[in-house]
Structure 1
């Protein structure tokens, strides 16, 4: 695929009647023209009579700060990990085309960070972010991210294919790490679609809070007392009372006058009595569960201490980033090098992610050198420093020796103090 082909493909719209697999049900579900009225209502979230939550789409879900933060944080965190190709059993990355392709620029239009951030954003929103591998013969020469909303996944002869921009690509030429696959191995699970009830509740609370505070904190009110006769008279009275409320709010007055024998009483639920603050905090935690993120990374420091915040940092790497990075590494290794190629593999470098504070990092490096786990040059490479002369040898502290090989001290001479056992 040339850059011109890629640009044309990005503006491609699927033909009428084409069946999509692996698409995003929130954005482009492909409802057939013959769909019933109930199906249309169900799609737009109006058929479920048990709830009146706002309809959730990807765009509306991203208006919830916790969802936006989760997608942005995870996509940036995974995109910022250095990605290298290695020979199996070696720790030094392969230089040349593979280094440029994976860690610098996958093609002439994208940086490596931008490419990976884009595909991870699609994964954590719609559930899929495929990338086409352009080859010269069998060698990968460019990687092109594909718009998942314009991509159709299907099977032919038992094999999986991707249709994008009017072209069809075999699965062996497409890097695809879905959020979760459905049973047919074509469609994907969108985290936003599956979490739409929790996100819809967060949207509803956002809307309520905006309406409540947008009206100056005045809740819905009911007028009690003798009501004017006739609809027109009642409408005028309603307008006069509303005008009095607006004027008081505008002038910062603490009260406004009411006609004799009348009073206003609030109706609905008081936000404080409805525990709105606690409910919004709970929805943040629900969204954190949706993405398997420790709440601290969505800026929820409610129950945090210095100790458990550090543990959440470790939890993020071990139980979230490591899982996704492993899936991406294996998918890239398989699709770029092929099933039978076992000499090379693609891996993320987590060194920067686990550095911690500078003092602890350098103490750990020094300890690794002193215990013959790293050579000085390997340690320098971890800090992006050039190799030093004679820095490729392993060292170990001389004070640590096998038991029984320590040197014996001479017996004391006459007049010298000793403990009577022949040693000083």
Structure 2
């Protein structure tokens, strides 16, 4: 099924014909039960959605990304001379940095549920550059042989590699596709589209609050007149002209001819308006699995649990996205002969280190128990290594931590040395000790 039909940009088909998947999902983006239309643009106009998308996009974009090679006999080492290192770590294309590229694709993934990038290769198949593709212009399809290919509908100048307009067919080896959660494993579904009613209610709450303050931050009311008014509309218009709007709030009203003002509106606190808005913020944070304190809700946060919530954010929210990125990059960018030798890794260790005191205690335990050297610790703290003469690669262990079979070896050697007989003294030396010559 194409992305355009999935999110309502095109018509759903009755029968699947040479498609990766197909169903009538045009209802996903569109008008909600609250009456507010929800799409990728209106959703990003809510502060909660914008904050969640920004937090996850910037988190993934800021992680160090490296290419590693498996070492013979076990272990790994970072590879700097691989062509993918320059593309992923520094500059995916001449127009973007690595941060901007990953931030853009991650925002696509969080809004549309899919992220696409065009792969530019040389004659040997090695990756030279990566260019983002807008998800709402991409269709995923199958040919008569069952092979997946992509159709990009170009009508603007966002990609310098496309010269013609209209539908452009791209081979699967020329597209980096990172799908989100989906039902068929090929196309991800948009979190915003799946939760459009929650987003629509958030938009409705914001619109209500804006209109409330636009009316002078006062609920509606009636003007009571003891007699009969000949022209009620004139009185209403004159009242609104003087007292309506935030600029006219708290002005003193002057009532003539025995008129009285009777308030009939319900204050927003009594209508639980603020509570509803707060709940909607948590609802959006729940959608993206973001801790509430990261989007500004500190009601249930304290100094004792914020750090733990931040670590849980890395383990349970960020780490699944990181794995999705790593495996998609390896699948699309590494050549078939390289997949058993190299792998791509986004490093989240820096986010899991905790506060300074906790890190130092952990390093101390590792150092004293012999599985961390000084250079291992300095590398994790981004410090320059020490030389071998300075003991940088020396592994130490406490004296009371040794094998049972080695226990008492030092003490046994000492007792043996003490029990050995002293060598016999020569006669001359004996005579000297007795005072004889």
Q: TM-score, normalised by structure 1?
A: 0.79
Confirm whether residue 145 of structure 1 aligns to residue 142 of structure 2.
no
State the match for 2:307 in structure 1.
310
Tell me the CA shift for residue 92 of structure 1: 2.9
Partner of 1:158: 146
Whether 2:99 is the aligned partner of 1:113: answer yes
- Compare relative contact order (CA 8 Å, sep 6+) and give the higher one, 1 or 2: 1
1:193 is matched with: 193
Cα distance 1:247–1:93, how it changes in 2: closer, same or farther (>3 A)? closer
Q: Does 1:319 align with 2:316?
A: yes
Q: 1:251 to 1:42 in 2, by over 3 A?
A: closer
- The answer to whether the 8 A contact 1:228-1:234 is kept is no
CA displacement at 1:288 relative to structure 2: 0.6
Instruction: Return the offset for 1:24.
Output: 8.0
Q: Could you tell me how far apart the structure 2 residues matched to 1:246 and 1:143 are?
A: 54
In the TM superposition, 1:164-183 aligns within 5 A as: 164=152, 165=162, 166-183=167-184
SS at 1:311's partner residue? helix
Instruction: Tell me which residue corresponds to 1:215.
Output: 215
> Matches of 1:153 and 1:248 in 2, distance apart?
51
| Cα distance in 2 for residues equivalent to 1:127 and 1:236 | 54
SS of equivalent to 1:85: strand
Match of 1:240 in 2: 238
1:22-41 paired onto structure 2 within 5 Å: 22-23=3-4, 29-31=9-11
1:397 maps to 398
Are the counterparts in 1 of residues 34 and 200 from structure 2 also a CA contact under 8 Å? no
Distance in structure 2 (CA, Å) of the matches to 1:167 and 1:248: 52
Q: 1:257 Cα deviation (Å)?
A: 2.8
**What secondary structure sits across from 1:237 in the alignment?**
helix
Offset of residue 323 of structure 1: 0.5
Do the aligned residues in 2 keep the contact of 1:244 with 1:257 (CA within 8 Å)? no
Runs (5+) with no aligned partner, structure 2: 13-23, 153-161, 416-437
Which residues in structure 2 correspond to 1:339-418 (within 5 Å)?
341-390=339-388, 391-403=392-404, 405-406=407-408
Name 2:430's counterpart in structure 1: none
Query: Does the CA contact (< 8 Å) of 1:93 and 1:99 recur in 2?
Result: no
Contact 1:154-1:186 within 8 A present in 2 as well? no
CA deviation map 1:25-59 (0-9, x unaligned): 66x61249xxxxxx9x979956x7xx443212222
3-state DSSP class of the match of 1:396?
coil
| CA deviation map 1:345-384 (0-9, x unaligned) | 1111112212222333234234323323233333333233
Aligned residue in 2 for 1:422: none
Q: Specify the alignment match of 1:92 in structure 2.
A: 77
Inter-partner Cα distance in structure 1 for 2:363 and 2:101: 32
Give the Cα–Cα distance (whole angstroms) in 1 for the partners of residues 246 and 314 of structure 2: 54
Contact 1:227/1:234 (<8 A) preserved: no
State the alpha-carbon separation in 2 of the partners of residues 177 and 347 from structure 1. Answer: 15
1:58 corresponding residue in structure 2: 40
Counterparts of 2:97 and 2:249, CA distance in 1: 54
- How far 1:290 sits from its partner (Å)? 0.6
Question: SS in structure 1 opposite 2:140?
Answer: strand
Residue in structure 2 matching 1:101, options 62, 75, 87: 87
Structure 1 unaligned runs (5+)? 1-19, 33-38, 412-424
The answer (yes or no) to whether the contact 2:213–2:246 under 8 Å persists in 1 is no
Aligned to 2:428: none
Alpha carbons of structure 1 residues 105 and 299: separation in structure 2 relative to 1, 3 Å: same
Distance across 1 between alignment mates of 2:43 and 2:228: 45
SS at match of 2:383: coil
Deviates more, 1:109-118 or 1:261-270: 261-270
Determine if contact 2:126/2:335 at 8 Å carries over to the other structure: no
Shift of 1:122: 0.6
Deviations 1:107-143 (A, max 9, x none): 2222111110000011111211112222221322222
Q: Which residue of 2 aligns with 1:77?
A: 59
Farther off after superposition, 383-392 or 276-285: 383-392
Q: CA deviation at 1:275?
A: 1.0
Q: Give how far 1:292 is off.
A: 1.2
* Cα RMSD for the two superposed structures: 3.0
CA change 1:124–1:386 in 2 (3 A) is: same
- Mark the structure with the bigger radius of gyration: 2
The DSSP-based 3-state class of the residue aligned with 2:323 is helix
Q: Return closer, same or farther for 1:24/1:211 CA change in 2, 3 Å cut-off.
A: farther
Task: After TM superposition, give the deviation of residue 100 of structure 1 in Å.
Answer: 1.5
The residue that corresponds to 1:9 in the other structure is none
